[in-house]
Amino acid sequence: MRTTPKIKLYMIQGALLVLALAAVALARPITVMAEANQFDRYMVDFNPNYGEFPESETLDGTRFVSVGGTLTDFPPNPTRDGYVFDGWQFVSGARSGQRLEESSLVVDESVMLLAALWVTYGEQTTSTPPPAATPSPTPGAASPTPAPTSPSPTPTPASSSDAGRPNPTTSPIAISFMIFGAVMTLGLAAFGIIKLVARHSVANGKYRTDTARYMREARLDDLLKEDE
């Protein structure tokens, strides 16, 4: 059976359709897996807020907890030059703006974001010592002149404008759609190129067929003239 350019074009289109269906079949399990992962676990993200976690923290402050579970595995306290860590603060959800006071966290939202709080040295909260007893003056003794004390510098609080800036994350669902879109784009681009090549081949084949037919007719006319 002779394969014409038109049949070749149909074969190429069928192959591209099979590739597109295969791409959909591959992307679907990834999407389903990502959706199942998203609904089975909640995410709690601890943002160091311009600080740094120690090297022992390999999860970069991100924790995953089952739906309605309790988180007790908090990341280690981050550090920041010139500041003292002062706890965690919620920056999303119903508790946004509140401090995390408890040692365990009930995860009742799909995504919970917390940011580190920082204060400068000397600003952190400390217990106030009881006042020292004032000694009774001794009769006849000169009262000592108290030495002047220099005023304590006003502490500069850490900037709160950048507090709670969460780390940008990309969900698995978005990644699967990006992969699927890239595959489809490449497939369509290849389909367009192959279609142009096929059209060019069909046009060339038609031109050659018309040329051969014209030559045969011209040759037949010459033979008829010779017979006459």
Give the bridge partners for 111, in sequence order: 43
Per-residue pLDDT reduced to its tens digit, 50-83 = 999 999 898 889 999 998 899 999 999 999 999 9
The yes-or-no verdict on residue 111 having pLDDT over 50 is yes
Radius of gyration of the chain (CA): 39
CA–CA separation, 114 and 166 (whole Å): 8
Q: Which of 123-132, 185-194, 204-213 has the highest mean pLDDT?
A: 185-194
Q: Where are the domains of the chain?
A: 5-124+156-227
pLDDT tops 70 at residue 165: no
Cβ-contact 77, 89 below 8 angstroms = no
Neighbouring-strand partners of residue 42:
65
Angle formed by the axes of helices 172-227 and 5-40, nearest 10°:
180
**pTM beyond 0.75, yes or no:** no
Q: Which of 127, 130, 132, 90 is nearest to 111 (CA)?
A: 90
